[in-house]
Structure 1
Amino acid sequence: MPNRMIACLLALFLPFSASAAEFEAGKDYLTIRPAQPTNDPARIEVVEMFWYGCPHCFQLEPLIEEWAAKLPDDVNFLRVPAVLSPRWELLAKAWYTAELLGVTDRIHKALFDEIHVKRKRINSEPALRSFFVQQGVKGEDFDNTFNSFGVAAKVNRARQLTRNYGIRGVPSMIVEGRYRTSATEAGSHERMLEVVDYLVEQARKQR
């Protein structure tokens, strides 16, 4: 076989082998032991652990939005506020308050912008209440939900997941309750999402 033809054939196969070896366990992503249960066993679960006070989470948000918009139907993408210390609980409660009130679309980006673009200090319940009211939420609805058992239970669950996933910093991404990656492991936010796509494909094959 002519050398030129051999070179062409090798060129066809090289990208696939390079892709298969591109991401390594223990380097680009870590294995969670024991694996954690997922919310919907019928779909591949991807969780973003974030905190509104984190500038890296704010920078990741446009990339996450674009990435999530293209996800196939068999992938279930969830956001979970990390609770690494008592100081993080306030903004975790903000996420779940918005979720239970059905105003996540209105609150999520606006709260990131309030903290990182407008440089407002949202570090107390009154400050958070004022922000929600500015976004069109009734003060009474905020009070009843923010201090509800439902929000408290969800924050406790988020705290437990933060611990069980082995989260040390945010943003971090969890796939199928079994794998964890972040920009620290992957090298950048963009590459982190590539690692997540790779892990989703691995989970799909394992199913």
Structure 2
Amino acid sequence: MNRRDALKLAGLALALPAASVVQANEPFQIIEPAQKADDPSKIEVLEFFHYGCPHCRDFHPLITAWKKKLPADVAFRAVPAVWNNAQLSGLARLFYAAQITGDLAALEPAIFAAVQDDKRPLFNEQQVSEWVAGKVGDAAKFVETYKSFGVGSMVQRADQLARALKIQGVPSMVVGGRYLTSASLTGSHENTLKVADELIARVRKERG
């Protein structure tokens, strides 16, 4: 699924500068200007994904194992793609709600299966409330988190970040706010993670 342009966001105090993507004749692209990390002391690695993407589902167990081995100076963050799409926005809310309540690791395989295998819509409060019952310890708390202002702000921020980084498809990885890579550039999910490791080392060297 491609990103959607011309989205106007309300209520966000921080505006990210728009970036351009330069083809480097390498298994990655260069983002100009580089985007700042939330924590500048860390090398930030972002994974853009969404639950309706079969490639993201295939990539998920690989990147889950990979991120557990990252060194202390690297900060990993998964970012749900929204692209001004109401259904993807609902799935992004589901992601952040599960993350906040501590249910993400247990729920993610089931979310992928529900969306892709069962074709179950999980795009709004009622649909999520019915689905999550019996799957988490406190379903009422989960739904309250899902519909909270804080989660809504996180979804808006995620979409703003994807647009600032010119994310065109998923799964994609951005390293150090400057280098973008994906299987379309590397040839496979496994190679994408190898390239990400190389880019982490490159950013570390650039920082001195």
What's the TM-score, normalizing by structure 2?
Answer: 0.81
Distance in 2, Cα, partners of 1:147 & 1:133: 16
Identical-pair percentage: 41
Distance in 1, Cα, partners of 2:83 & 2:164: 12
Length, aligned pairs only = 184
Counterpart amino acid of residue 37 in structure 1: K
Kept after mapping to 2: 8 A contact 1:47/1:174: yes
Kept after mapping to 1: 8 A contact 2:45/2:74: yes
Change (3 A) 1:166 1:130: same
Unpaired runs of at least 5, structure 2: 1-22
Distance in 1, Cα, partners of 2:137 & 2:84: 27
Q: Residue in 2 aligned with 1:71?
A: 70
Write the mapping of 1:108-187 to structure 2, written as runs, cut at 5 A.
Answer: 108-187=108-187
Higher helix share: 1
Query: Looking at CA atoms only, which structure, 1 or 2, has the larger radius of gyration?
Result: 1
User: Helix, strand or coil for the counterpart of 1:32?
Assistant: strand
Kept after mapping to 2: 8 A contact 1:46/1:176: yes
Q: Tell me by how many angstroms 1:118 deviates.
A: 4.7
Counterpart amino acid of residue 60 in structure 2: E
The one-character-per-residue Cα deviations of 1:19-59 (angstroms, maximum 9, x if unpaired) are xxxxx934411111221111221221111001011100000
Kept after mapping to 1: 8 A contact 2:125/2:143: no
What's the TM-score, normalizing by structure 1?
Answer: 0.82
Distance in 1, Cα, partners of 2:91 & 2:73: 30
Unpaired runs of at least 5, structure 1: 1-23
